[in-house]
Amino acid sequence: MRDYDVIVIGAGPGGYTAALQTAENGLKTAVIEKESLGGVCLNVGCIPSKSLLKNAEIARTLRKDSKTFGFSCENLSLDYGSAVERSRKVSKRLNQGVAFLLKNAGVDVYFGKAEFVDPHTVHAIMNDGSEKDISAESVIIACGTKPVEIPGMLPDGEKILNYRQAILQTTLPKQVVIIGGGAIGVEFATIWNGYGTAVTIVEMQSHLLPNEDAEAGAELERSFKKQGIKVKTGTALCGVDKTEDGVMVHLKQDDKESTVIADQVVIVVGFRSNAPELKLEKAGVSLTSRGWVETDDMCRTSVPNIYAIGDAAGKVLLAHTAEAMGRLAGDLAAGKDPAPLRYDLMPHATYSHPQVASFGYTEESAKVAGIAYKTSKAGFIANGKALGLGENEGWVKLLCDTETNALIGAVLVGPEVSELLPELSLAAAHNMTAADIALNVHAHPTLSEVIMEAAMEISR
């Protein structure tokens, strides 16, 4: 007899979702989490950052746009420490909610580090110093990732920061350099610029958000520069020197070297898997050359009773993808036959100002895949709701298969576009065309009317 039907290693969005799914399926379940329920996303990532972004939105309005809305803000005082405190309260509330859900579902939670002994046994080194071997019929790996560190520029929490240190600090730098123009980098830039920090963001690739549509990255860069954020794309980080007052960040662009002086530098250049720490070789689980757990499209590893989900599998490093994979693995462990996930339809959202959202093919990836496509764009510039919000920058771009007119991708830049994306990904999942979207009556005035306009244009 084994101790459990399922052990889940990690209690981030994927892990706790998998545990709740297996428990709902009637399986006796345990979770081993080395730090906090909810993982990075809930505690030091997605959730607190959105709280800070809301504060930054209000701060930006009061600092820059108050006259537009008829407010007088003389002697304005902004308390960034209170914003961080609010973000911690939001995270704490959700953390407690996850704990309640797991307890209510009968899931046992062990706080500690997990290591494989064999395919059915995990050795747990508890945070209180005790140790225990726990066995199960199935194991779901949901151990997440850690930030990539650059040799010679290791974070110290004072002058060189990683995302975790940056999101927890309660004081604002007057000047900051952000290395990495991905989602995390541009969101930090949005937060600190909203409060008046002088921000320089550095990206090695040719445009911000290098994994997104190039046109969207260029649109975000134009907006950032209008907001006073300095953007250096196609620029490499050469080194960081600490000084008495801050840092000197050495950069190189087109063989030209430059130095930016700031209070702090934040390095957010990517993530690597925590999976190698689990001693997977003892269970016979294979890793890819980059350290991700090797899985098929159904989250199955090289060992039949072991699954890997979320960031640990390295497919799409997003919380909602991890949750979807968690539900899938939870059903597989219960002997069910769930439908495979469509990773190509996974939504991507970046909560910068303006927001960027996408799914499916970009123009670049469609060309690489040899897909004949057509596009259409419609802007927010004349959208009544956007004008009322005072945020009418950006556009919606749709990609359709030339022959079938089926929707194969979209990218949106503008106000709250992350909320507009599900209509499009749902349409693509059901093989709907742009004409189908155009025929759907959209309420007026709404931001979603821009989707209808783009769909009408491409259907003509």
List residues with catalytic annotation: 444
Q: Is 165 helix (H, G, I), strand (E, B) or coil?
A: helix
**Strand, coil or helix: what is 248?**
strand
Nearest Cα residue to 4 out of 134, 117, 109, 191: 134
- β-pairing, 264-267 vs 348-350, is unpaired
First to last CA, the chain: 65
Query: Which contacts qualify for 86-89: CB closer than 8 Å, 24 or more apart?
Result: 86/51, 86/55, 87/47, 87/48, 87/49, 87/51, 87/52, 87/55, 87/167, 88/48
Report how far residue 210's alpha carbon sits from residue 300's, in angstroms, rounded to the nearest whole number: 29
d(CA 276, CA 63): 47
d(CA 363, CA 410): 9
Which residue stretches of 148-196 are H helix?
163-168, 183-194
Q: Are 109 and 92 a contacting pair, CB within 8 Å?
A: no
